[in-house]
A and B are shown apart, each in its own frame.
Chain A
């Protein structure tokens, strides 16, 4: 169990920045997920921590002591690879024992530890199999058992679930999370899959082009994305580029009435969460609304999805739960899309988020009391 901190960690290849100044403090037993699209530098960061790539600048400290000068085999990190990288010529038990053998652990202690890991990962019956005779999920568990057997100071997970069937992924993810919790291991996980990240992390680090876009809990990055990229990458968002002036957001000839009040004017980006929008009959231009026409309506089981055209070539997606009272609209129907302050997030031209000037709690949930009140007045 250790504290890990990355201090302005940087990797350059000539003029290209692979990782630019990543700073991160990971508490004991915390699971931090580095999340981003491919090429965002998340894997490079992980490999620098593991020692496979030399950092250009910055430092990696484990319990306060720099480990940058240590070769990988002396860093005591448990690493689970995306491809698992199991030794194909060794049985499951020998794979798990490998790290202990390298440490010179005496035979009885080694056997006991291997047996314990086999039990923990429910692999007892497969101990004498070769990796090629295992399923993907079983191989994954061997990789995890092998990494945990050495009691690493830090656990590093490189896209641990991406080679598994979608059906297995959630289960295995939960298993990993439980094991990690039980052993209290400080962990960094790298993934491009936001669902995986949301499900497993204590804290998320969203990266793009080598730079950290935002660090925070799931709720923080979802509710208060720091950049338009985060708004689009975490969860879904309708992204609209337009001009902001006095409560009105204009996208070419389409006018959206914002739910919040903003001091800034000028070019801006609006992100609207589809699942926080609702559809209603066309009505007056109240705050948090835009008029449109339904183009596509799909019933997807748990949710309904409407594609609403709000401008000549401008569409937004509205998703709501089928459990709610609303109905599926027909294509061609005229509607008003409505939302509350928590559905919208505005960014200025410099991609900085704009703050709603309304006092908190002034506006309640999307399209309800305030909107209903106005409608009732009419």
Chain B
């Protein structure tokens, strides 16, 4: 094709893409720009938001150990639940991908079914299990006479996040493993690789792109988790999303809430970029 033809085709493509691009720009970029603008404003108890340009909100975040601590907790919880999701999800996804019997459909359904129930409703289930006087507490009391406090601990929050994210992780990894020819595993076997080494040398590297995608997905979801830390973490266990909502709705401090939102987003994006950068180029999806 000559240069003019290419240009013509480019122009045609641009024409067709323009409306969709415009919608995305308006729907996605506008709120973000608004957020950025708000985060530079000043908060006043009586007037709420005063238009100005100041970095005070960001300064407040970085200079107050409380907020840094909340960010650190959020990162730790997200990282830990991502790790757990991958550790639990990988073997599950592998088994599922390699299943051939009619049980596969049933098992797939078992993985997908929790997604039909809203995460808040599922959290209530966990609350019944974890709460003071709840199932775990009652059983523990029956054994040791003292009971066991699980509610409002980091364990409860991580368990809740893992339970919500696991189906996404399993489905993402499983679809990648499905694309790995079982003959590769057989070939590795015939060349003398026992199952564990075969998995490590063949399945793991080939499943890495999907696993990384699943991990990133899980991490983003965990970083932004709201209902889980709010319901299972309680008032003492602070994570970013509930905190910024509290600043926004209860304190009516929109400038600071905007700054928190942008900081949370930036951190998440930075971590995701790092994860993508760590994965060797030839494995990237």
Contacts and interface: CB of A to CB of B under 8 A. Distances in A.
A157 to B, nearest CB: 12
Interface stretch (B26-34, B87-95, B138-146, B189-197): B189-197
18 contacts: A50-B186, A52-B189, A72-B190, A75-B190, A78-B190, A81-B183, A81-B186, A85-B183, A87-B187, A88-B206, A89-B283, A102-B192, A103-B192, A146-B187, A146-B191, A147-B190, A147-B191, A156-B190
Interface in B187-229: 187-195, 197-198, 201-202, 205-206
Interface in A106-155: 130, 146-147, 150
B181 A99 contact: no
A87 B192 contact: no
Contacts of A87: 184, 187-188, 202
- The residue among A74, A75, A102 with the most chain B CB atoms within 10 A of its own CB is A102
Nearest to A104: B192
Interface string A51-82: 11000000000000000000111111111010
The 4 closest A-B pairs by CB, nearest first: A99-B191, A102-B192, A85-B183, A85-B187
Contacts of A130: 282
B282 A102 contact: no
A98 B190 contact: no
Contacts of A74: 192
A83 interface: yes
Contact of B187 (A71, A75, A79, A103): A79
Interface in A130-188: 130, 146-147, 150, 156
What DSSP secondary structure best describes chain B's contact surface? helix
Contacts, number: 68
A166 B179 CA distance: 29
Contacts of B202: 87
B193 A73 contact: yes
Query: What is the size category of the interface that chain A forms with chain B?
Result: 20 to 34
B189 A83 contact: no
A76 B192 CA distance: 7
A318 to B, nearest CB: 44
A86 B192 CA distance: 15
Contacts of B187: 79, 81, 85-87, 146
Interface of A: 50-52, 71-79, 81, 83, 85-89, 98-99, 102-103, 130, 146-147, 150, 156
B209 to A, nearest CB: 11
B181 A83 contact: yes
- The residue among B191, B198, B201, B282 with the most chain A CB atoms within 10 A of its own CB is B191
A71 to B, nearest CB: 8
Given A72-B186, A89-B283, A150 B191 contact: yes
Given A88-B206, A89-B205, A89-B206, A73 B190 contact: yes
A85 B194 contact: no
Contacts of A147: 190-191
- The residue among B181, B188, B189, B201 with the most chain A CB atoms within 10 A of its own CB is B189
A89 B186 contact: no
A79 B186 contact: yes
Given A73-B198, A79-B186, A79-B187, 19 more contacts: A50-B186, A52-B186, A52-B189, A71-B194, A73-B194, A74-B192, A81-B187, A83-B183, A85-B184, A85-B187, A86-B187, A98-B188, A98-B201, A102-B192, A103-B192, A130-B282, A146-B187, A147-B190, A150-B191
Contacts of B183: 81, 83, 85
A86 B202 CA distance: 11
A45 to B, nearest CB: 15
Nearest to B190: A79
B22 to A, nearest CB: 39
Nearest to B191: A99
Contacts of B191: 73, 98-99, 102, 146-147, 150
Given A73-B192, A83-B181, A102 B197 contact: yes
A89 B281 CA distance: 11
B207 to A, nearest CB: 11
A3 B193 CA distance: 24
A81 B205 CA distance: 21
Nearest to A130: B282
Contacts of A50: 186, 190
Contacts of B282: 89, 130
